[in-house]
Amino acid sequence: MPGLLCVRTMRLILVGFGTVGRGVAESLLASEPELSVAGAEPRVVAVVDPVVGSVRREGGLDLGTLLRLADTGEPLATCPGAETVAGLKEVLEVAGGDVLVELTPTDLHTGEPGLGHVRAALKAGLHVVTTNKGPIALAYHELRTTAHKAGLQLRFEGTVLSGTPVLNLCEAGLAGAGIREIRGVVNGTCNFILTEMEGGTSYATALSKAQHLGYAEADPSGDVEGLDAAAKVLILANSVLDANLKLEDVNRTGISELTAEDIQTARMAGKTWRLIARISQGENGWEAKVGPEEVNRADPEGSLTGPENLLIFDTEALGEVTITGPGAGRRATGHGVIADLLAVHRNVS
């Protein structure tokens, strides 16, 4: 249901060309027909990455070539027509972008390097789309205020449930519905470990299996101690519910203390443990919590066993609305960026 079409080039600067960055490049190629129908013509005018190198080309870089180079370990500078650049500072000065797409890895202690990239882009007058939880979890209100004052868009669908469109859902479909509570399962690695433990596996064995399969990092603490879930719940609370919480305000417990006995006791009662993220109204406004909870196996939370995530929005107008979708994945995260770029296109038309 588009309005009157306005075909327009969006000049993108991609920062980060690792797994996520390449997933976004693939999504841009795959979604070209649908972007085109909407009147959006994204053109990647620069890619900035400390490993594969930083390049720019005013007329647009060929994404297929960049992907081939990065996947074979060759420097992006060998891409025909590409000029080498020193880094983001130079790109912002000379490349003339419309949207900065920030795709560097999350650091929940400092937010860097993403936070610096987002600040610099907004200062330079670019809209920002990011999949990086760090800047949004740590500095949402500051960044939103800066963007707002400058009439710029700041979008981050890929930070929560990867590309499953929960933030778009809240912004459009649930606007005015009166959200009373948000709860759900927002970390797939914990689901995997808990499901393995139900089969009789110990926590240590389940964790090492998750690491072997690439679900969990070598340092798994971000997932199993609930830090990843806490960042997501914080982003939801601050951006959807306009709370003003900090990461340390999230009441957080991980799953590493759960014993085989806890799991089996729940199982005998038809229940199962899940790492539940929850935002509800407390005495002093919104409160956010992440921790293991026993849920009924037949409940939506209990029936998720794999990498899928879900969120349940309890609302005044609709009662409960539940959305389920992938919580991770290169292409899924790439879609979050595509949806955000389409929204930027619509909103500035």
Q: Give whichever of 76 and 194 is closer to a copy of itself, judged by the CB atom.
A: 194
DSSP state, 158? G
CB of 27 to a copy of itself, least distance (A): 7
Q: Give whichever of 170 and 230 is closer to a copy of itself, judged by the CB atom.
A: 170
CB of 5 to a copy of itself, least distance (A): 9
* Those residues with Cβ within 8 angstroms of residue 95's Cβ, 6 or more apart along the chain or in another chain: 11, 13, 45, 46, 56, 58, 85
The encoded tokens of residue 286 equal 């919104």
CB of 329 to a copy of itself, least distance (A): 8
Residues interacting with a copy of itself, by CB under 8 A? Answer: 1, 3-4, 27, 30-31, 34-35, 38, 144, 148, 151, 153-155, 157, 163-166, 168-169, 171-178, 239, 298, 300, 303, 315-326, 331-332, 334-335, 338-339, 342-343, 346-347
Q: Give whichever of 291 and 329 is closer to a copy of itself, judged by the CB atom.
A: 329
Q: Give whichever of 106 and 164 is closer to a copy of itself, judged by the CB atom.
A: 164
Task: For residues 243 and 286, give the distance between their C-alpha atoms in angstroms, rounded to a whole number.
Answer: 6
Strands 127-130 and 99-102: parallel
Transcribe 94-131 into DSSP letters.
Answer: HT--SEEEE-PPP-TTT-TTHHHHHHHHHHTT-EEEE-
CB of 154 to a copy of itself, least distance (A): 7
Which of 89, 149, 232, 246 is labelled catalytic?
232
Distance in angstroms between the alpha carbons of the first and the last residue of the chain: 15
Task: For residues 289 and 91, give the distance between their C-alpha atoms in angstroms, rounded to a whole number.
Answer: 40
The encoded tokens of residue 173 equal 């479909």
Q: Give whichever of 69 and 174 is closer to a copy of itself, judged by the CB atom.
A: 174
Q: Give whichever of 134 and 334 is closer to a copy of itself, judged by the CB atom.
A: 334
CB of 346 to a copy of itself, least distance (A): 8
123 is catalytic: no
CA 29 to the chain's CA centroid: 20
Task: For residues 140 and 99, give the distance between their C-alpha atoms in angstroms, rounded to a whole number.
Answer: 18
Q: Where are the alpha helices (DSSP H) in the chain?
A: 19-30, 32-37, 63-71, 88-94, 114-123, 133-149, 166-168, 188-198, 203-212, 221-224, 227-240, 260-268, 300-303, 330-347
DSSP state, 1? -
CA 52 to the chain's CA centroid: 23
Strands 285-296 and 251-252: parallel
CB of 331 to a copy of itself, least distance (A): 5
Q: Which residues are catalytic?
A: 232
